[in-house]
Amino acid sequence: MLICVFLIGGGIQFLTLSRVLAKRTKALGTKPITGPVALVLDSLPEGNGLRCMINVYTHQMRNPIRKYASIPMIAFFYSLFYVSYGGPVMQDVRRQLNAPNVLPGFTDREMQADATPRLYVFSKTDRLTPTTEVLSHIREARRLGLDVRTEVFEDSPHVSHARVDPDRYWNAVANIWKD
């Protein structure tokens, strides 16, 4: 069994893992590991990389002068990352999350839309990942015919849903496995 829960910065880590698995599977010619696979997307995905980085690094700053003064430095480092990566990483994350074979090497059902069920867990009041971003990704996933489930919290902070209501969170995770 494989389950992935992505927390802050997890989207980029997921993209890296997916690329490594794709290269490994291709290079070694290994057969996919078959068995249950599910993807839990906790407070993910954000589509605007610069906005995401600004939110991540400034959301706890109380002093507005300090907050706005830090934005040029964040933008500078983001631009370095953008150039070194070769483009908009967050768009790559969003695209890969909607790939049927979301983690190469763990399923051989590349062309089946239901190959990897996804559970989106998010909050209407998340200050780091806007609900509109998550909902647009869910709509796209459903349009592609992916197996999508949602657990929407009313008022829990970013990636804190399991702390706010652990029974509800873990029941949603358990239910995706049952199915």
- CB under 8 Å to 51, separation ≥6 — which residues? none
Name residue 31's beta-bridge partners: none
Q: What is the pLDDT of residues 36-67, one digit of tens each?
A: 678 888 888 877 778 877 887 888 889 999 99
Query: Is the pTM value of this prediction over 0.85?
Result: no
Of 30, 48, 42, 51, nearest to 150 by C-alpha is 42
- CB under 8 Å to 3, separation ≥6 — which residues? 37, 38, 39, 40, 173, 177
In the block, residue with structure tokens 């849903």: 161
Q: What is the pLDDT of residues 83-113, one digit of tens each?
A: 877 777 777 788 888 887 777 666 555 555 5
- Cβ atoms of residues 172 and 151 within 8 Å: yes
